Copies of this chain bind each other. A is one copy, B any other.
Amino acid sequence: MKNKLPRWFASDNHASVHPKIFEAVLSCNKGHAYAYGGDKITEQAQARFKKLFGPKSESYFVFDGTAANVLSLNALLKTHEAVLCAEGAHVTGDECGAFEAFTGSKLLVAPSPDGKLNLDKLSGYIQKKGDQHHVQARVITITQSTEWGTVYSKEELREIKKFKTKNSLFLHMDGARFANACVALGVEAREMIELAGVDVLSFGGTKNGCFMAEAVVFSDTRMASSFKYVRKQGMQLASKMRYISAQFLAYLENDLWIKNATHANSMAKKLSQKLSLVPGVEFVQNPQANALFVRIPKSWNNTVFKNTYFYIWNTSENICRIMTSWDTQDKEIEHLAKIMRNCSKSK
C-alpha cells in the first residue's frame, strides 16, 4: 500500500500542492532577495494578510502548524499562566509536548466529546485566580474546525467571546483548517475573528494546498511587539522566506484558499450523504468541515484497507477518520462509497 498511494482519505496533509502555489514559488525564484523576511514578496504577502484581517492586524510566517500554535500561545503567556483547551486539542494531544517544552506553561484541559471547548467545565480553573498555588488561566485556545471535524457555530463563538471578556482572557484560534471552517460557517475571515474575539490566529496553508506555509496572525499589532524575537527563538524564522511568502501570495489570490476548502468540504458532504445510506456505517460526529468520523464493523477492515486508506482513530471502537482535501475527486468518493456498500451487503 505504501508504494502506490493515490488521492485517498488519510489526511489533507497527504495531499499534493496546488499547481498555482507551485507557479508562484517558481516565479519568485529570481536573483537575490533579502533574507529573513526583508524581501518584496514577503512584504506583498503581509499586505494581503492585512487586507484579509484588517489594518490593525499583523502576520508572521512560520514553517508548520505546531509552531504556529506554540509560538502564538507563547506570545500571550508568562510561564506561570495557563491555557484552557478542550481534550483532543492538537496542542495537547498531538504535538509531543512542544507547548510545555517551549513555554514551560501548563495546559488546563476540559473533557470534550466533540473537540469543542465546554465553558462550564472551566469554572474550576477560573476560580483559582489569585491563588499562588495554581497556574493562572490566561488564554483560551479553540480549534476551528476542530480535530473531530466539527465547527463552532456563530452562537458558540459569541459565547466564547463573552466568557473570555468576562474573565479577562485572551483567545487563540488554531486555524490549521481555518479555511474549511470559514466555508462551513459561511463567514469571511474577519467575521470569524470578530465573532469569537480572536486575539491570535494560527492560519494554516499547508493542509489546504500549500507545502509549507503557516501564519501567526495577531488581531492587534500591539500584541505582536516582541513576536519577531519569539519566532526566531522558536527556530521558525525562514532565511529564504520568499519561498513561504510566495505560497501565501498565490493562496490568497482570487480566493484560492476558499476555493480549495469549498471543494474539500463539499467532497466531505457528498461522501457523508453516500455513507449515511450504508447500513453499518455509524457517524460519531456531525461532519461539518472536511472530516468524517464513522464507526464501522471491525469485520470490514480487511476489505476496506485492501482498497483504500484512512486512519482508525480509535482502535477499540473501530472509529475511523475519513478526510477529504482540495484534490479529492468525485470518482474517489464513489469508489470509497462502493467499498463500504459492498462490505455492508456481504456482512
Residues of chain A whose beta carbon lies under 8 Å from any beta carbon of chain B: 2-3, 5-8, 10-11, 13-17, 22, 26, 29-36, 38, 40, 63-67, 70-71, 74, 78-80, 82, 93-98, 100-102, 104-106, 109, 127, 132-136, 206-207, 211-212, 226, 228-240, 243-244, 315
Contact = CB atoms under 8 A, between A and B. Distances in A.
Given A40-B2, A80-B96, A243-B212, A229 B135 contact: yes
Contacts of A2: 34, 38, 40
B100 A100 contact: yes
25 contacts: A2-B34, A2-B40, A7-B32, A8-B32, A13-B36, A14-B34, A16-B30, A16-B31, A16-B33, A17-B243, A36-B132, A64-B236, A66-B232, A66-B235, A79-B101, A93-B134, A95-B133, A95-B235, A96-B232, A98-B234, A98-B235, A109-B109, A132-B231, A211-B243, A235-B235
Contacts of A70: 235
Given A96-B134, A101-B80, A229-B80, A35 B22 contact: no
Q: Which of A38, A71, A95, A96 has the most chain B CB within a 10 Å cutoff? A: A96
Contacts of A105: 97, 100-101
Contacts of A80: 96-97, 101, 226, 229-230, 232-233
A179 B310 CA distance: 41
Contacts of A93: 134
Contacts of A96: 80, 132-135, 229, 232-233
Contacts of A233: 79-80, 95-98, 101, 135
Q: Which of A8, A40, A133 has the most chain B CB within a 10 Å cutoff? A: A133
Contacts of A63: 63-64, 212, 235-236, 238
Indicate how many identical chains form the complex: 4
A54 B214 CA distance: 35
B95 A104 contact: no
A10 B38 CA distance: 13
Nearest to A1: B34
Q: Which of A14, A82, A206 has the most chain B CB within a 10 Å cutoff? A: A14
A35 to B, nearest CB: 4
Contacts of A132: 36, 96, 228-229, 231-232, 237
Contacts of A94: 133-134
B17 A32 contact: no
Contacts of A22: 26, 29
A323 to B, nearest CB: 11
Q: Which of A2, A15, A26, A212 has the most chain B CB within a 10 Å cutoff? A: A212
A239 B233 CA distance: 21
A228 B132 CA distance: 6
Contacts of A243: 17, 211-212
Q: Which of A31, A65, A94, A232 has the most chain B CB within a 10 Å cutoff? A: A232
